[in-house]
């Protein structure tokens, strides 16, 4: 998005700060500036759409997140009704309609607790269809937190369109991380980090860290068993593997020696205040550098097009979308292969469609590099991409509303002793780190992760040949090794979970 006006392939971009040449009225100047802005068109230009898609998904996350904050309550304290009656967890035994809600067997809901008898107060229409959820260790009732009730009760049951907004938030978060990874790896393999765009790489790297920070802090907010224990494991990682500063870092993250109410406050504050502010700042910087330096042209790129690549990618994505659920016997939209197909499909469809609707201007000899006007050809293609992605997210949110994973969605009651249930694991994007920790000693795993981060950050410095316009085979091999390593650890992690 928003490439430099000087993005024609040759010569390298001049400084757009030279300003518009025609008209003096600001609107006329904007028109003139837009009219001169061009985006390189070549066989690899498909990859230019992933940065814009990431930006769109980030905006969607902010919008849906803002709506969620209207009803979310960041408190791990036991929930009570408006008249102060305590609430307890109850399990629905058979499908029933009560009030405006439909419940299915296995749903866990919050009902008022009779403090005298220690049993839930079952409304007349629910008699015989619910049972009190008992704690596995003490046999007592489980008191869900205000945070859990605000998510599973208020947002998922009481608020109109609540499940839709929550599902859009969760699905766009997963797609955002997937597009971000594709964007980063494509920028790497196209050597887009080479001079003068080193700062684009660095600001992008910081954005990657911030987005992973969003994912980590947001995970705890529903305050269910999966969220609680996964965060406990994640936060204790520095404690057990980094002697010295590790325990201090873990305590600072948790706000104490264990995950509790203070941790929830910290994660919430980071998720809705600190991280968004930092992300907005770095997105602005990233786009500012993009405006200054323009989009790069990959070394050795020749012809325009990329239809063959797009069609092949689309074909593979469609095949995965059909074959994977059949092979697994279940449709899980967050299974990594399905998710990857969902990321690639909108871009490919939009790219192919837009090529028909807003074609590039043919270069006279048909071989040299061409370019397309940013306004309206490229922006039209970008918008089409966003529209298709939005369609996929909303369709998923309606057809397969996000429900969390049972039994991981059970509420956590901090007033009782807690035992880590089996099968606790992180989301797909942290699985590589989780598996690394299981496979090698903790300190070694942390050193590997720090080296990986430092190596990614230093890519523009490591690749000296790219600045001279040469493609280094060593860098390609390194990039493939990292991609295969991360994917391998992820698959290994899931296989180990499946085999216990
Ligand atoms: C929230 C995260 C991010 C957003 C919203 C974002 C947005 C964008 C946009 C809109 C573009 C222009 C279109 C394109 O080339 O795709 C771009 C280009 C670029 N981004 Fe990002 N980006 C993000 C993260 C990253 C990351 C993690 C990296 C790498 C570590 C990165 C490195 C680059 C580079 C090097 C370019 C220039 C591409 C070229 O010249 O061909 N970005 N980004």
pLDDT of residue 282: 98
Task: Determine, yes or no, domain membership for 112.
Answer: yes
pLDDT for position 484: 97
Centre of ligand 1 from the C-alpha of residue 44, in Å:
15
176 and 138, same structural domain?
A: no
User: 36 and 113 in one domain?
Assistant: no
120-162 confidence digits (pLDDT tens): 898 888 888 899 988 878 888 899 999 999 999 999 999 999 9
Domain identity same for 66 and 89: no
DSSP string for 353-412: HHHHHSPPPPPTTSSS-EEEEIIIIIHHHHHHHHHHHHHHHHHHHHHS-----TTTTSBP
Q: Using 50, 70 and 90 to split pLDDT, how confident is the model at 2?
A: very low
3-state secondary structure of 199: helix
The answer to whether residue 10 sits within a structural domain is no
456 falls within a domain: yes
Which atom of ligand 1 has the smallest separation from the CA of 208? 27
Ligand 1 pocket mutation, candidates 183, 298, 456, criterion most atoms within 8 A of CB: 183
Q: What angle do CA 496, 227, 56 make, to 5 degrees?
A: 95
pLDDT at position 393 is: 95
Q: Spell out a b/e string for 442-455, using b for 16 or more CB atoms within 10 Å of the CB, else e.
A: beebbeebeebeee
Do 358 and 481 share a domain, yes or no? yes
CB-based pocket (< 6 A), ligand 1: 1, 48, 50-52, 54-55, 58, 180, 183-184, 187, 190, 192-193, 197, 200-201, 204-205, 207-208, 211, 283, 286, 290, 295-296
Residue 184 pLDDT: 98
Predicted pLDDT at 303: 63
- Residue 367 CA, ligand 1 centroid: distance in Å: 27
Residues 66 and 85 in one domain: no
Report the DSSP beta bridge partners of residue 40: 371
Same domain membership, residue 402 and residue 330: yes
What's the CATH number where 362 sits? 1.20.810.10
Say if residue 310 is in the same domain as residue 210.
Answer: yes
Assess if residue 11 is contained within a domain.
Answer: no
CA 295 to centroid of ligand 1, rounded, Å: 9
Instruction: Encode pLDDT of 22-70 as tens digits.
Output: 457 888 888 888 888 888 877 777 888 999 999 999 999 999 999 999 9
Domain count, the chain: 2
Q: Residue 326: inside a domain, yes or no?
A: yes
Q: Is 298 helix (H, G, I), strand (E, B) or coil?
A: coil
- List Cα–Cα distances, 446 to 66, 236, 237, 242, 248, in angstroms: 34, 12, 8, 8, 16
Q: Is residue 119 part of a domain?
A: yes
* 97 bridge partner residues: 102
Q: Does 328 fall in a domain?
A: yes
Residues 197 and 325 in one domain: yes
Q: Is residue 158, in this structure, part of any structural domain at all?
A: no
* Domain edge (last residue) among 93, 109, 143: 143
Q: Which domain holds residue 112?
A: 80-143
Q: Which atom, in ligand 1's list, is nearest to the CA of 297?
A: 41
One domain, residues 256 and 108 = no
**Whether residues 281 and 377 fall in one domain:** yes
CA distance 211 to 276: 9
Nearest CA to ligand 1 atom 15: 48
What confidence score (pLDDT) does residue 321 get?
Answer: 93
Identify whether residues 31 and 122 lie together within a single domain. Answer: no
119 and 57 co-located in one domain = no
């Amino acid at each position: 998005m928003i490439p430099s006006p000087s993005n024609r392939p040759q010569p390298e971009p001049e400084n757009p700060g030279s300003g518009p040449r025609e008209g003096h009225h600001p609107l006329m100047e904007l028109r003139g500036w837009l009219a001169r802005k061009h985006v390189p068109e070549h066989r690899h230009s498909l990859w230019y759409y992933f940065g814009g898609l990431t930006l769109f998904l980030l905006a969607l996350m902010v919008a849906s997140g803002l709506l969620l904050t209207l009803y979310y309550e960041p408190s791990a304290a036991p929930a009570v009704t408006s008249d102060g009656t305590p609430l307890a967890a109850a399990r629905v035994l058979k499908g029933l309609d009560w009030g405006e809600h439909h419940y299915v067997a296995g749903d866990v809901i919050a009902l008022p607790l009779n403090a005298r008898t220690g049993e839930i107060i079952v409304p007349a229409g629910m008699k015989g269809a619910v049972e009190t959820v008992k704690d596995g260790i003490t046999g007592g009732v489980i008191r869900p937190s205000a945070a859990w009730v605000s998510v599973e009760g208020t947002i998922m049951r009481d608020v109109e369109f609540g499940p839709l907004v929550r599902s859009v938030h969760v699905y766009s978060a997963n797609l955002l991380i997937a597009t971000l990874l594709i964007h980063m790896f494509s920028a790497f393999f196209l050597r887009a980090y080479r001079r003068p765009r080193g700062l684009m790489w660095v600001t992008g790297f910081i954005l990657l860290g911030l987005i992973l920070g969003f994912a980590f802090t947001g995970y705890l907010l529903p305050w269910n068993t999966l969220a609680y224990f996964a965060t406990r494991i994640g936060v204790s990682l520095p404690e057990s593997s980094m002697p010295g500063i590790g325990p201090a870092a873990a305590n600072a993250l948790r706000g104490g020696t264990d995950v509790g109410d203070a941790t929830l406050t910290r994660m919430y504050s980071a998720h809705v205040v600190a991280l968004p502010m930092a992300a907005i700042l770095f997105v602005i910087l990233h786009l500012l550098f993009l405006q200054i330096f323009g989009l790069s042209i990959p070394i050795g790129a020749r012809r325009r097009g990329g239809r063959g690549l797009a069609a092949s990618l689309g074909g593979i994505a469609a095949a995965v979308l059909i074959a994977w659920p059949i092979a697994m016997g279940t449709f899980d939209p967050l299974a990594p292969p399905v998710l990857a197909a969902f990321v690639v499909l909108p871009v490919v469809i939009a790219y192919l469609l837009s090529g028909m609707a807003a074609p590039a201007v043919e270069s006279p000899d048909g071989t040299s590099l061409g370019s397309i006007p940013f306004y309206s050809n490229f922006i039209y293609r970008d918008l089409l991409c966003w529209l298709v992605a939005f369609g996929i997210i909303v369709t998923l949110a309606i057809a397969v509303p996000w429900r969390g994973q049972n039994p991981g969605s059970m509420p956590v009651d901090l007033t009782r002793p807690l035992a880590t249930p089996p099968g606790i694991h992180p989301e797909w994007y942290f699985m590589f780190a989780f598996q690394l920790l299981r496979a090698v000693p903790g300190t070694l795993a942390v050193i590997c992760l720090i080296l990986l981060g430092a190596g990614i950050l230093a890519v523009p410095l490591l690749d000296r040949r790219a600045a001279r316009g040469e493609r280094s085979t060593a860098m390609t091999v390194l990039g493939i090794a990292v991609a295969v390593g991360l994917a391998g650890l992820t698959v290994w992690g899931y296989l180990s979970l499946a085999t216990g």
